[in-house]
Amino acid sequence: MPASECPREGSRAPAFSIRTASGRVSLDAFDRQIVLLAFLGEGLTIGSSPEVTARIRAELRGLGAVLLVISTRGVFAFRPDDDLATIAGSHELVPGDVDASRRAFGLRDATHPARALFLLDGERCVRFSHVWKDEDVVDLEDIGDALANAGRALVRTPNRLVLSRRDLVLTTLTVSLAIAFAHGCDRRPIARSVSTEPSHDVPSEMDVTLDVNGKIGKVRIDVRTSLLDALRERMGLTGTKKGCDHGQCGACTVLVDGRRVTSCLMLAVAVEGSKVTTIEGLAKGNTLHPLQAAFIEEDALQCGYCTPGQIMSAVALIAEDRAKTDEEVREAMSGNICRCGAYANIVAAIQRARRS
- Which one has a higher pLDDT value, 215 or 50? 215
Q: Is the pLDDT of residue 79 over 80?
A: yes
Residue range 269-297: mean pLDDT, rounded: 95
Q: Is the pLDDT of residue 76 over 80?
A: yes
What is the band of 196 on the pLDDT scale with cuts at 50, 70, 90?
Answer: low
What is the band of 314 on the pLDDT scale with cuts at 50, 70, 90?
Answer: very high
Give the number of other Cβ atoms within 10 Å of residue 260's Cβ: 23
Q: How high is the pLDDT of residue 159? A: 45
What is the band of 160 on the pLDDT scale with cuts at 50, 70, 90?
Answer: very low
Q: Is the pLDDT of residue 247 over 80?
A: yes
Q: By mean pLDDT, which of 4-13, 88-97, 118-127, 271-280 is the weakest?
A: 4-13
Q: How high is the pLDDT of residue 87? A: 82
Q: How high is the pLDDT of residue 124? A: 83
List 67's β-bridge partners, or say none: 36, 78
- Which one has a higher pLDDT value, 123 or 244? 244
Residue range 249-255: mean pLDDT, rounded: 96
Q: What is the CA radius of gyration of the chain?
A: 26
| Tens digit of each residue's pLDDT (9 = 90 or more) over 30-57 | 877 888 888 887 666 665 677 777 878 8
Mean pLDDT over the full length of the chain: 82
Q: Is the pLDDT of residue 66 over 60?
A: yes
Q: How high is the pLDDT of residue 191? A: 53
Helices 343-355 + 307-320 axis angle, to 10: 40
What is the share, in percent, of the chain residues with pLDDT greater than 70? 81
Query: Residues 301, 307: contact at Cβ < 8 Å?
Result: yes
Q: Residue 113: which of 98, 93, 92 has the closest Cα?
A: 98
Q: In 297-317, which positions are buried (b, 16+ CB within 10 angstroms) versus exposed (e)?
A: ebebbeeebbbbbbbbbbbbb
Residue range 286-293: mean pLDDT, rounded: 94
Q: How high is the pLDDT of residue 156? A: 54
Longest CA–CA span in the chain (Å) reads 88
Q: How high is the pLDDT of residue 338? A: 95
Q: What is the 3-state secondary structure (H, E, C) of the chain?
A: CCHHHCCCCCCECCCCEEEECCEEEEHHHHCCCEEEEEECCCCCCCCCCHHHHHHHHHHHHHHCEEEEEEECCEEEEECCCCCCEEEEEHHHECHHHHHHHHHHCCCCCCCCCCCEEEEECCCCEEEEEEECCCCCCCCHHHHHHHHHHHHHHHHHCCCCCCCCHHHHHHHHHHHHHHHHHHHHHCCCCCCCCCCCCCCCCCCCEEEEEEEECCEEEEEEEECCCEHHHHHHHHCCCCCCCCCCCCCCCCCCEEEECCEEEEHHHCEHHHHCCCEEECHHHCCECCECCHHHHHHHHCCCCCCCCCHHHHHHHHHHHHHHCCCCCHHHHHHHCCCCCCCCCCHHHHHHHHHHHHHC
Q: How high is the pLDDT of residue 260? A: 93
Q: How high is the pLDDT of residue 144? A: 80
Q: How high is the pLDDT of residue 171? A: 75
- Ordered by where they begin, the domains of the chain are 3-156 (3.40.30.10), 205-355 (3.10.20.30)
Q: Is the pLDDT of residue 264 over 90?
A: yes
